Amino acid sequence: MTLDARLIVNRPAFTLDIALEVAPGEVVALLGPNGAGKTTALRALAGLTALSGGHIALDGRPLHTRPADQRPVGMVFQDYLLFPHLSALDNVAFGPRCRGASRSEARRTAAALLERVGLAAHATAKPRRLSGGQAQRVALARALAVEPRLLLLDEPLAALDAHTRLEIRSGLRRHLADFDGATVLVTHDPLDAMVLADRLIVVENGAIVQQGAPAEVARRPRTDYVARLVGLNLYRGLGDGARIKVGELAFSTIEQLDGPAFVAFSPAAVALYRTRPDGSPRNLWQAVIDGIERHGDNVRVHLDGPVAAFVDITPAALADLDLTPGQRIWASVKATETHAYPA
């Protein structure tokens, strides 16, 4: 185990308490809403925020007893924080210089790294002459230049526009794959997390609420926040064979579960009817339309009722059904479209 940490930071009205284990070469993403404590965790690992308790061990050696400048850590900051008065090359050479390399040695290291991130041509440029994507890559090169055992990335793509983001994300993924130390990245963007990380750790209110492989987290969200991130309706209820009771509703499911359980389904799996449909489809309930909004190419309908739910329908369906907010409506979801798992 490369990184083994228990981070406890007490602040007025906020406590962060999470345990982290990251293997060599592994990329772990801390995912969570704003104010969850992700960045605090990262700063604690870097030594920029003092721990109130816990420990940090890297390769079996304690890290939390050392000041920031003596930790074998490289950090990429949210808005990169490239030194504005230094060229791209000197920014990257800064770390090696501080760690004792001679000027020419440091510049050689820096030039090689800039080459690796495809910015050799911009070595002499000052940061303000670099585009967002270029600055991000210089920041990555600068963090890697100190040959860290632990790489920390704080919202590495948040400052980029959508187009650049796509390109930089795949580039970053490649570089992270090449890196043999532990990587912890912080993001609030599920897509970044899914693409870049081997494992997700979801943090809410200073505590870990869920962790696992990205696909696992996406399929089986365990909090409303994660469900919203991955775009699923999620309910917690009580399993009773092939049914899960959620309030006054009972969802029929494929899975056989007893005791506390989650049931999740996609907003696209819900069908809406103006009148009670014939026959008796399972999982039918009456709801009130709370709101209607565009959602990509579709329309997202917010339902209130025995359970709150999102429903995605096509614009054509919206016109056919002639839906307006406040209207009463019938909703149903097939048992085969639900996914149930123990809570």
Partner 1 sequence: MSAAPDRRLAGRPPWVLVVPALLGLAFLVLPLAGLLIRAPWPTLPARLAEPQVLEALRLSLVTATIATAVCLVLGVPLAWMLARVDLPGRRLVRALVTVPLVLPPVVGGVALLLVLGRRGLIGQWLESAFGVTLPFTTAGVVVAEAFVAMPFLVISVEGALRAADRRYEEAAATLGASRWTVFRRVTLPLVAPGVMAGAVLCWARALGEFGATITFAGNFPGTTRTMPLAVYLALETEPEAAIVLSLVLLAVSVIILAGLRDRWVTSP
| Under 8 Å between Cβ of 152 and 176 | no
Site residues for partner 1, 52-111, by CB under 8 A, read 67-71, 73-75, 77, 81, 83-86, 94-95, 98-99
48 touches partner 1 by CB under 8 A: yes
Whether 309 contacts 251, CB under 8 Å: no
Tell whether residue 305 is a contact of partner 1 (CB under 8 A).
Answer: no
Residues in the chain: 343
Interface with partner 1, residue 142, by CB under 8 A: yes
Bridge partners (DSSP) of residue 11 are: 14
- Residue written as token pair 């963090």: 143
Q: Which is nearer to partner 1, 152 or 185 (CB)?
A: 152
Shortest gap between Cβ of 93 and partner 1 (angstroms)?
Answer: 10
With respect to partner 1, which residue has the nearer C-beta, 104 or 280? 104
Q: How many residues bind partner 1 (CB under 8 A)?
A: 27
50 counts as binding partner 1 under rule CB under 8 A: no
Nearer to partner 1, 142 or 339 (CB): 142
CA distances from 165 to 54, 121, 136, 158, 233 (A): 35, 21, 10, 8, 28
Q: What are phi and psi of 137, to 5 degrees?
A: -70, -35
Token reading at 24: 């060599």
DSSP-derived 3-state class of residue 176: helix
CB-nearer residue toward partner 1: 80 or 310: 80
Per-residue b or e along 28-40, where b marks 16 or more CB atoms closer than 10 Å to that residue's CB: bbbbbeeebbbbb
Closest CA to 169 of 142, 133, 200: 133
Measured from the CB atom, the residue of 85 and 163 that comes closer to partner 1 is 85
* Torsion angles phi and psi, residue 267, rounded to 5: -60, -25
Q: CA neighbours within 13 Å on the CB side: how many for 89?
A: 16
* Identity of the residue numbered 242: A
Q: Which two tokens mark 261?
A: 């359980």
In whole angstroms, the minimum distance from the beta carbon of 46 to partner 1 comes to 5
The CB-of-312 to partner 1 minimum distance in angstroms stands at 39
Specify the residue, 45 or 261, whose C-beta has the smaller distance to partner 1. Answer: 45
Q: How far apart are CA 166 and CA 53, in angstroms?
A: 38
Tell the smallest beta-carbon distance from residue 25 to partner 1 (Å).
21
| Residue 87 CB, nearest approach to partner 1 (Å) | 13
Compare residues 76 and 329 and give the one whose CB is closer to partner 1: 76
Residue that the structure tokens 């409303």 belong to: 224
Each residue of 48-87: b (16+ CB within 10 Å) or e? Answer: ebebeebebbbeeeebbeeeeeebbbbbbbbebebeeeeb
How near is the Cβ of 148 to partner 1 at its closest, in Å? 9
Pairing, β 61-62 against β 73-76: unpaired
Say whether residue 7 binds partner 1 (CB under 8 A). Answer: no
Stretch that binds partner 1, among 141-149, 160-168, 179-187, 257-265 (CB under 8 A): 141-149
Between 79 and 167, CB nearer to partner 1: 79
| Binder of partner 1 out of 32, 37, 47, 267 (CB under 8 A) | 47
Chain residues binding partner 1 by CB under 8 A are: 46-48, 67-71, 73-75, 77, 81, 83-86, 94-95, 98-99, 128, 142-143, 145-146, 152
